[in-house]
Structure 1
Amino acid sequence: MEKSKLTVWQFFVLTLSFLIGTSFFFTPGGLIAAAKQDAWIVPLWAGTAGILAALVWLHLSKLHAGLSIVQICIKVAGRPIGGFFALLYIFYFIQLAAFITRNLGDFMKQALMPLTPLTVFHVMFLFVTGYAVFKGIETIARSSELLFLIMAATFIFVLCLALLEWDWGRFQGIFRMDVWKTMKETSSIFGFPFMEGVIFLMLFPFVQSKKVKSSFILAYAVATILLSFSTFITIGVLGVTRASHDTYPFFVIVQEIHIGTFFEHLESTMALILLVAIFIKLSIAYYCSVLGICQLFKIKNRFWITIALILLISGLAMGYDNVVENIEFSKKYDFAYTILYSMVLPCLLLLVTWIRRIRNKRTEEPAS
């Protein structure tokens, strides 16, 4: 494994950036369409479920300290079965990277450069991200520290300007949702972004501190509050009808900010924030894909793996015809697909670990 170390702060920034990186752009519109004025409540229960899942991952990592999820699969289930589980995780990380890449392409083509082919956005961004991946997780973490502060400061500034269009009347009809029906209609938010955090089982071994648990849970709590807050702001500024019909409601908010002739056309600034957020999230998914392959097949030089994955990720990112098909697929299948990797397999690995420990104790007792 790469001999790198992450501080608690760096790990917190990586986790928080990964969870909210693209979700505050792509998630509010769908939530508002399903839950109307109560959409801001949905991230709260989804985030709570995400924290419970995070406790399972942390416990699994604690039982196998110093090992990534790929190495845990092989250790617990053996080389044949464990190797198959590890391959499933690697494919999931690659698919996640492709999904993030497609989000970038759809946004750039729909909002900024409609005449540019999607592949151009994909390959250009993947080459930049691939360089960061080749340099290692410490490089990604240090870049994220700087970019996160810039992203946060710009986001807060733009948010303050957007509040000038605030109207409490847009919340009329609050607290009227059917909870069970809403949970089924918004189940995709459990998968994106909260259950995707299972990818950090690849990065836990790099954090040389006992505070990794508190840092990880805190990042989940902050991400939950921020996503709920951004949905709340979207309702208050745009209203339910407009927000539910826009693919990128937060981008629309920024487009409509006009203060005299000085503060206007800030959408390019918001696009820059999104590119930074996507860079951090894609770098993590891309890096974990490369690291998983290197660990499974015991490859020491990750350069050619990094280059090869550029073509694979770019190709997988073209699996959807358009952004509408992408959104519909996420609504229907994202939760069911993600739950396999985030809960089913980790719980299975935990169960096998406990069974083996019980057996070892029973065999040691007669010997003593």
Structure 2
Amino acid sequence: MSEEKLTMKQLGALTIFALIGDSIIILPSSVAGISRQDAWLSMLLVLLFGPAGCWLMLRLRRLNPSADLIQLLRAGFGRWAGGAVGLAFLYFLVLNTAAVTRELGDLLATQIMPETPIRATHLLFILVLVWGVRCGLPTIARAGEVLFPWFVLFMTALIVLLIPRIEVDRIRPIAAEGFPTILHGSIVAVVYPFAELIVFAMLWPAIRPAKKLARDFMLASLIGGIVMFLVVFISVLVLGPYLTAHQVYPTYALAKKISIGHFLERVEALLAISWMISLFFKGILYFYASLSGIARLFGLRESRALATPLATVVYGLAFAMAPNLVYFNDVGIHFWPYWDITFAYAIPLALLAALAIRGKKPSPAAR
């Protein structure tokens, strides 16, 4: 959509936004539901193994820095088989955009604006997505660069203001559930935030080449992982493992706990803004990647004209994918991780193997 390349600072901000995204809302309850008071130990394992999953995205970029995933799929699997896998990957991107839209709608409808129809929330969010992609990826990246300090400020405030509410006894006994349970919780935590960074495999051509691109990308993913560790850790320390596991939105419940001198209270609506910011950037990255992928797969020169038709599809999918919030969360916890594993890990690994068998050599790229 635009030939202007993104800077490393913009890439870092977008990586953190994409990693945190909807995870800040759903991850604490998902991990605590499995690991209970040992959820923080599961998140420690995530800090060790999560960024390692980013190696796949960087390895794909090394193959050809100017190619996106659709082009690599056709190079590895052939024109028709690669096109079929690429079409399935596009469905994955579109469905993720719809899922982010649905999550934002459910959050607002159940916690903040219960009298506002969820259809209105979805419509407004999708209109902003369409407007954003029409402005182009560089504009999206600059917006992320501007809003990122505010996001950091709100997240820091959430953690610091909750320190007086911490009770260390809530994480005891430590490792009582055993290592298999802790490992199970860490697998879910690795899949949700880190696997969905596969969206950047569609954006590599739009990023300015740099010698330390790989280092900066890995560092940004590690920072995002640390933020998620702190959110889960604070959730267990403040709410306890039971409430963390059974709250639909634990971080929103955390914000309600903030009370400084009976003066600074009821700030959850302000903190919800930071979550909406991260949801927006994750949604718009997936929406942009979907449009770019469609244009690449079908040989179109311009994809902006597809924004409105695709937005209509996303609007419909946001309702069709689940009849209610309970069903949506159940699918997200028990089935969605396998969906992410397939497209973020299994397909890229198969692609790397196919390219190796075909004798394709990686082209020089930034380290």
TM-score (norm 2): 0.93
- 1:131-150 correspondence runs (5 A): 131-150=131-150
Give the Å deviation of 1:38. Answer: 1.0
The 1-side partners of 2:144 and 2:168 are apart by 36
Higher Rg of the two aligned structures = 1
Which residue number corresponds to residue 322 of structure 2? 320
- Unaligned runs of 5+ residues in structure 1 are 360-368
Which residue number corresponds to residue 333 of structure 1? 335
1:90 aligns with 2:73: no
After superposition, what is the alpha-carbon deviation per residue over 1:120-179, rounded to whole angstroms, capped at 9, x for unaligned?
111111111211111111111110011111011122123211112111222221122222
Which residue number corresponds to residue 362 of structure 1? none
Give the Å deviation of 1:265. Answer: 1.4
Give the Å deviation of 1:243. Answer: 1.8
Structure 2 contact 39–185 (Cα < 8 Å) conserved: no
After superposition, what is the alpha-carbon deviation per residue over 1:186-237, rounded to whole angstroms, capped at 9, x for unaligned?
6433321111111111112222213221111112211222211111111111
Structure 1 contact 191–334 (Cα < 8 Å) conserved: no
Which residue number corresponds to residue 174 of structure 1? 174
The 1-side partners of 2:261 and 2:151 are apart by 24
The 2-side partners of 1:358 and 1:22 are apart by 37
Which residue number corresponds to residue 365 of structure 2? none
* 2:264 counterpart SS class: coil
Q: What amino acid is the match of 1:347?
A: L
- 1:278-293 correspondence runs (5 A): 278-293=279-294
Which residue number corresponds to residue 250 of structure 1? 251
Give the Å deviation of 1:13. Answer: 0.9
Structure 1 contact 93–286 (Cα < 8 Å) conserved: yes
Which residue number corresponds to residue 14 of structure 1? 14
Which residue number corresponds to residue 203 of structure 1? 203
- Unaligned runs of 5+ residues in structure 2 are 362-367
Structure 1 contact 44–224 (Cα < 8 Å) conserved: no
Structure 2 contact 34–181 (Cα < 8 Å) conserved: no
Give the Å deviation of 1:30. Answer: 2.1
1:357 aligns with 2:359: yes
The 1-side partners of 2:76 and 2:33 are apart by 43
- 1:1-368 correspondence runs (5 A): 2-184=2-184, 187-208=187-208, 209-260=210-261, 262-318=263-319, 319-357=321-359
Give the Å deviation of 1:185. Answer: 5.7
The 2-side partners of 1:67 and 1:211 are apart by 19
The 1-side partners of 2:94 and 2:165 are apart by 40
* 1:193 counterpart SS class: helix
Structure 2 contact 199–286 (Cα < 8 Å) conserved: yes
What is the RMSD computed on CA atoms of the aligned residues? 1.8
* 1:114 counterpart SS class: coil
Tell me: CA distance 1:188–1:171, structure 2 relative to 1, closer, same or farther (3 Å): closer
Structure 2 contact 43–186 (Cα < 8 Å) conserved: no
Give the Å deviation of 1:115. Answer: 2.4
Q: What amino acid is the match of 1:264?
A: E
Tell me: CA distance 1:262–1:295, structure 2 relative to 1, closer, same or farther (3 Å): same
The 2-side partners of 1:298 and 1:2 are apart by 17
Give the Å deviation of 1:182. Answer: 4.2
After superposition, what is the alpha-carbon deviation per residue over 1:247-301, rounded to whole angstroms, capped at 9, x for unaligned?
1111112113223453121011012111111111111111101111111112223
* 1:6 counterpart SS class: coil
Q: What amino acid is the match of 2:274?
A: I
Q: What amino acid is the match of 1:324?
A: V
* 2:248 counterpart SS class: coil
* 1:159 counterpart SS class: helix
Give the Å deviation of 1:10. Answer: 0.8
Structure 2 contact 46–186 (Cα < 8 Å) conserved: no
The 1-side partners of 2:204 and 2:174 are apart by 41
Tell me: CA distance 1:270–1:76, structure 2 relative to 1, closer, same or farther (3 Å): same
The 2-side partners of 1:13 and 1:103 are apart by 21
Give the Å deviation of 1:308. Answer: 0.9
Structure 1 contact 204–212 (Cα < 8 Å) conserved: no
Aligned length in residues? 359
Tell me: CA distance 1:358–1:295, structure 2 relative to 1, closer, same or farther (3 Å): closer
* 2:359 counterpart SS class: helix
Q: What amino acid is the match of 2:222?
A: A
* 1:27 counterpart SS class: helix
* 1:250 counterpart SS class: helix
Which residue number corresponds to residue 366 of structure 1? none
Structure 2 contact 27–189 (Cα < 8 Å) conserved: yes
* 1:53 counterpart SS class: helix
Q: What amino acid is the match of 1:214?
A: R
Decide which moves more: 97-106 or 197-206: 197-206
The 2-side partners of 1:160 and 1:46 are apart by 23
